[in-house]
Structure 1
Amino acid sequence: MSALPMLHRAVLAACLLSSIVAGCARKADLVITGGMVWTGLSSGRAQPGAVAIGRGRILAVGDSAAVAPYVGSRTRVLTAGGGLVMPGFVDGHTHFIDGGFQLASIDLRTAATPQEFIRRIAEYAQHLKPGQWITGGDWDHTLWKGAPLPRKDWIDSATPSNPVFVTRLDGHEALANSAAFRAANVSKDTPTPPGGEILRDPRTGEPQGIVKDQALGLVERAIPPPPPAERDSALARALAHAAALGVTATAHMNASWADFASYRRMERAGRMTLRVVLYLPLEQWRDIADTIRRQGQGDDWVRIGGCKGFMDGSAGSRTAYFFQPYADSAGYYGLLQHPEASMRAWIGAADSADLQVTVHAIGDRSNAMLLSIYDSVARAHGARDRRFRIEHAQHLRPEDMPAFGERGVIPSMQPYHAIDDGRWVEQRIGPERIRTTYAFRRLLDTGAKLAFGSDWTVAPLDPLLGVYAAVTRRTLDGKHPDGWVPEQKVTVAEALRAYTWG
């Protein structure tokens, strides 16, 4: 996430030069000595050394003599005792405030059977007032024998007075109960929106409960927005969680203007403990550009980075868009969330407004399509430091991989997804396509600059789990002790660099 100000290459490199260090007069707030310092430069190995920090910036990295000029009467000197000293983790892709809400919401991620899924919802509903919504959840039906999708009739009897809208962990499909469909005025007569899907009873046409991608909005529009105080509380929970895991900066994807306002309130109160760059919906590029013209992009703590769009869905929900059909769904290729022409127009307009554009693409066809759009927009508008990104870049054709390095497109990837999806994705797309799935090694070798993140709440926020996943590729079911598609592993240093410099 190279747009972030913290630990910018130029600042860190300059601080490493002894001539700059010697002439720098600013005194440090904190000096850490006696550590094994890893910066990601040169060999990638940690070296004995010290670090000086002032006003939230790295002032110097070197030996004791290099940091000595920064020690003043008010400088706190901390001895690391030979421990590792490294930059804070930068999570390149989160849904940060949603994560704070999920920390206090119903947990369905570990429901290992349909019966447990039903029981948890029923118990949660017992503590609610009539009319209160049950949201969140992050369920995973691939844990269940036969992987059946949940239906509204599983939970209707336990939730007659409480609308339920609980999402699958990937956020690309959700289960609504009958009360939620009534509140949203969704019925058998509701047309399926383009780029979405409503699973229906084949005999009656009634919605069975599952909605996918663009169809999620049919129900989401009926959910009352949380008041500002609740959003701020969710942000506070998320900040505490991130601090405990060493995450010091993030890119908040699909942020809303209400999220932006919450960050600003938290910053004014002096309570921000993490630097955030927000990416708002691509379709709102005019509003984003107008806000930046009037107010600027922000500061070191809260900053508007640009806009975020969607090409397709996810493999777990069978809505990622592929060139070849799904191996377990004959003749079905997935979904484009928006027509290619619309994406081309939005991306072109946002780029003309000097906004950074990043777009979700998971299937190989959506990735190829997006790379083509990026290339044509860049050619039409001329050279600039635009830093196009592709969020996820999970399934790629071999012939498309060199384009990332050649054109400076950043693959923003989430390694934990590899060890999670690796349990089942071969059933979806077959043995050939998985060879270039989560292709960390191949992308690095072709010159791409990886940016790693978690996709929290879709996956755990803990960056060490992401590093473990990128280095070992051992799937969560324990069936690949030598790594799933092991030729795509990266080293620890490469994974750390993608989690700090990427």
Structure 2
Amino acid sequence: MTDVGPVREEAELVLLGGRVWTGDPRQPQAEAVAIGDGRILAVGRAESVRALIGPRTRVLNVHGRLVLPGFIDNHTHFLDGGFHLLSVDLRDARDPQEFARRIAERAKTLPPGRWITGGQWDHELWPGAPLPRKEWIDPYTPNTPVFVTRLDGHMGLANSAALRQAGITRQTPDPPGGTIVRDPQTGEPTGILKDAAMSLVYRVIPEPSDHEYDEALRAALREAARFGVTSIQDITEWAHWPVYRRAHQRGELTVRVYARTPIPEWERQRELVAREGAGDQWLRLGGFKGFVDGSLGSTTALFFEPYADAPQTSGLLHSQMFPEGIMKQRIAAADRAGFQCSIHAIGDKANALVLDIFEEVIRENGPRDRRFRIEHAQHLRPQDIPRMARLGVIASMQPYHAIDDGRWAEKRIGRERCKTTYAFRSLLDAGVRVTFGSDWPVAPLNPLLGIYAAVTRRTLDGKNPNGWFPEQKITVEEAVRAYTIWGAYAEFAETVKGSIEVGKVADLVVLSRDIFAIPPEEIAQVEVLYTIVGGRIIYAAR
């Protein structure tokens, strides 16, 4: 074991007595880490690192526990997650009755006219998997507008009060890229709105106050600290940017934020960066996020072939794809201006369309280190996997979705298309850079659940104990890299963070068990004992 770091100054914090997985191939393992001024001063043998202990040094003996680089989540809706923590929670409602009861209980606590939002419901948990209807909740919410979304964020249920405020009637046409679900007998809206149709309600929901935004961010930061998340690559609405800036100015940020704003307004970010700069290592504007399609659970992910359980549809193009050709124009212009583009694609046709656009833009704009990303890269045709590698496109994936969707995906698209669904192994073997995250609050923020999902592929219903399409499993080390150094690469920060090396920021986590040594199926029960960001302990398990 070699020692790294010639620095000989007093450390502020020293971690001793652990197994340090550095992520640095030159020195994969270490016994101790010294930290000062928010950065790593030394990594190596305990006796060498002890030389940096002075009278003011805090020494943390981790008693043989595993130390990792801080987790980098490649895809969050972070403020939405904070609001979810503070709103009605329908994620584990097991039947329509429980769904309605929780909304009714929430309505009792609110004054008339105050909206109920949040939700994260999953109708696939319910007997028969019916989509909810406004009639389920209307009796309890006559004067309380409700709009609660499915956990994938691509459809939601509005009650009658919300539909009235939005002006949605049986005569309202479906917007491009969206669907107003209607009763087949009466033609009346059922309350379910998919993708672009959701904006009809979103535009009438009052904007949260600055105080409400700040409280949501604080709740989200506490959640991130609890799970060892030290950096996020966020899907950032423009209304969220001032919230992050306020927290940064007050010194309250305990995660590093790489913010990606909506691609339709890409010029706005270009102008802001030209005026004020992209930011710093705590808060940085990181390019743009666009959409090509919707989600599998909402049958709005775009496929070449129809859905097996809904043969009348092959999914939807997102509204950002209209008018035809606009997405390519925006990506090409943003790329010429030097910005990174990250595009959401779920279905196999959506992924192929994104790769077509990326390939054209690369050819037209010429070579540069652009690191195009596909967010989710969920369902791929076999021939598009080597194409991703050839184009240098990053697969920004969220492995928990595999063990969640895996309960019902075959019913929706058939077994053959599922063979290259969440194709972690095939992508890595082809040479694609794969990074991991959560899509929180669509899925739990906990990276250890993501690692568990990627390594075991055991679906949540317990029906695949050996893994759902087990040939797509990856190793624990590959999954950890996808949550650390490969995540740093995806935001052009691999020289700054993502591994435990001298000079890098001191973002680390200490785990309760060694996930490299225990049976993979036990990883889901492992807990974070300490989270360290910028050399400061921001979370310690009780």
- Once residues 188 and 353 of structure 1 are traced to their aligned partners in structure 2, the CA distance between those partners, rounded to angstroms, is 44
- Once residues 348 and 26 of structure 2 are traced to their aligned partners in structure 1, the CA distance between those partners, rounded to angstroms, is 34
Identify unmatched segments of 5+ residues in structure 2.
487-542
Which secondary structure does the structure 2 equivalent of 1:436 belong to?
coil
Residue from 222, 243, 246 that aligns with 1:240: 222
Shift of 1:382: 1.3
Shift of 1:26: 5.2
Provide, for residues 145-169 of structure 1, a one-character-per-residue CA deviation record: whole Å limited to 9, x for no partner: 1111111111111100010000000
| 1:222-301 to 2 correspondences below 5 Å | 222-253=204-235, 255-301=236-282
- Once residues 387 and 27 of structure 2 are traced to their aligned partners in structure 1, the CA distance between those partners, rounded to angstroms, is 26
Shift of 1:49: 1.6
Paired position in structure 2 for 1:13: none
- Once residues 365 and 482 of structure 2 are traced to their aligned partners in structure 1, the CA distance between those partners, rounded to angstroms, is 29
Shift of 1:48: 4.2
Q: 1:66 to 1:373 in 2, by over 3 A?
A: farther
| 1:31-430 to 2 correspondences below 5 Å | 31-42=14-25, 47-64=29-46, 66-68=48-50, 70-253=52-235, 255-337=236-318, 338-339=321-322, 341-430=325-414
Paired position in structure 2 for 1:5: none
Normalised by the length of structure 1, the TM-score is 0.93
Shift of 1:421: 0.3
Shift of 1:101: 0.7
Contact 1:29/1:74, CA 8 A, preserved across alignment: yes
Shift of 1:72: 4.0
Q: CA RMSD in A?
A: 1.6
Contact 1:166/1:175, CA 8 A, preserved across alignment: yes
| 1:458-477 to 2 correspondences below 5 Å | 458-477=442-461
Bigger shift: residues 180-189 or 47-56 = 47-56
Shift of 1:346: 1.3
Shift of 1:66: 4.6
Provide, for residues 387-445 of structure 1, a one-character-per-residue CA deviation record: whole Å limited to 9, x for no partner: 11111001001110012222221101011000000000000110101110000011011
Contact 1:417/1:459, CA 8 A, preserved across alignment: yes
Shift of 1:192: 1.0
Which secondary structure does the structure 2 equivalent of 1:394 belong to?
coil
- Once residues 206 and 218 of structure 1 are traced to their aligned partners in structure 2, the CA distance between those partners, rounded to angstroms, is 16
Contact 1:360/1:390, CA 8 A, preserved across alignment: yes
For 1:497, give the aligned amino acid. Answer: R
Contact 1:172/1:213, CA 8 A, preserved across alignment: yes
- Once residues 381 and 26 of structure 1 are traced to their aligned partners in structure 2, the CA distance between those partners, rounded to angstroms, is 48
For 1:28, give the aligned amino acid. Answer: A
Contact 2:169/2:189, CA 8 A, preserved across alignment: yes
Bigger shift: residues 66-75 or 155-164 = 66-75
Which secondary structure does the structure 1 equivalent of 2:194 belong to?
strand
- Once residues 43 and 431 of structure 2 are traced to their aligned partners in structure 1, the CA distance between those partners, rounded to angstroms, is 27
Identify unmatched segments of 5+ residues in structure 1.
1-15
- Once residues 53 and 396 of structure 1 are traced to their aligned partners in structure 2, the CA distance between those partners, rounded to angstroms, is 43
Provide, for residues 165-205 of structure 1, a one-character-per-residue CA deviation record: whole Å limited to 9, x for no partner: 00000000000011001111121222211110001133443
For 1:137, give the aligned amino acid. Answer: G
Shift of 1:65: 5.1
For 1:240, give the aligned amino acid. Answer: R
For 2:383, give the aligned amino acid. Answer: E
Shift of 1:276: 0.9
For 2:470, give the aligned amino acid. Answer: P
Larger RCO of the pair (alpha carbons < 8 Å, separation 6+): 2
For 1:224, give the aligned amino acid. Answer: P
For 2:253, give the aligned amino acid. Answer: M
Shift of 1:78: 2.0
Shift of 1:367: 0.3
Which secondary structure does the structure 2 equivalent of 1:208 belong to?
strand
- Once residues 139 and 320 of structure 1 are traced to their aligned partners in structure 2, the CA distance between those partners, rounded to angstroms, is 18
Write out the 4+ residue segments of structure 1 that deviate beyond 6 Å after TM superposition.
none
Provide, for residues 451-476 of structure 1, a one-character-per-residue CA deviation record: whole Å limited to 9, x for no partner: 10011100011111111100000000
- Once residues 111 and 409 of structure 2 are traced to their aligned partners in structure 1, the CA distance between those partners, rounded to angstroms, is 40
Shift of 1:44: 9.6
% of aligned pairs identical?
Answer: 59
Paired position in structure 2 for 1:28: 11
- 1:431 and 2:412 correspond: no
- Once residues 448 and 69 of structure 1 are traced to their aligned partners in structure 2, the CA distance between those partners, rounded to angstroms, is 42
Which secondary structure does the structure 2 equivalent of 1:190 belong to?
coil
Contact 1:35/1:82, CA 8 A, preserved across alignment: yes
Paired position in structure 2 for 1:8: none
Contact 1:21/1:67, CA 8 A, preserved across alignment: no
Q: 1:230 to 1:312 in 2, by over 3 A?
A: same
Which secondary structure does the structure 1 equivalent of 2:280 belong to?
coil
Q: 1:303 to 1:27 in 2, by over 3 A?
A: farther
Provide, for residues 360-399 of structure 1, a one-character-per-residue CA deviation record: whole Å limited to 9, x for no partner: 0000000011011111111111111111111100100111
Which secondary structure does the structure 2 equivalent of 1:112 belong to?
coil
Provide, for residues 127-148 of structure 1, a one-character-per-residue CA deviation record: whole Å limited to 9, x for no partner: 1111000001000000111111
Q: 1:382 to 1:444 in 2, by over 3 A?
A: same
User: Which structure has more helix as a fraction of its residues?
Assistant: 1
Which secondary structure does the structure 1 equivalent of 2:285 belong to?
strand
- Once residues 369 and 59 of structure 1 are traced to their aligned partners in structure 2, the CA distance between those partners, rounded to angstroms, is 46
Shift of 1:27: 4.1
| 1:436-451 to 2 correspondences below 5 Å | 436-451=420-435
Provide, for residues 300-333 of structure 1, a one-character-per-residue CA deviation record: whole Å limited to 9, x for no partner: 1111111100000011000000011111112421
For 1:134, give the aligned amino acid. Answer: I
Provide, for residues 232-280 of structure 1, a one-character-per-residue CA deviation record: whole Å limited to 9, x for no partner: 0010011011101111111111x12221111111111111111111111
Shift of 1:206: 2.3
Normalised by the length of structure 2, the TM-score is 0.86
Aligned residues: 483
Which secondary structure does the structure 2 equivalent of 1:257 belong to?
coil
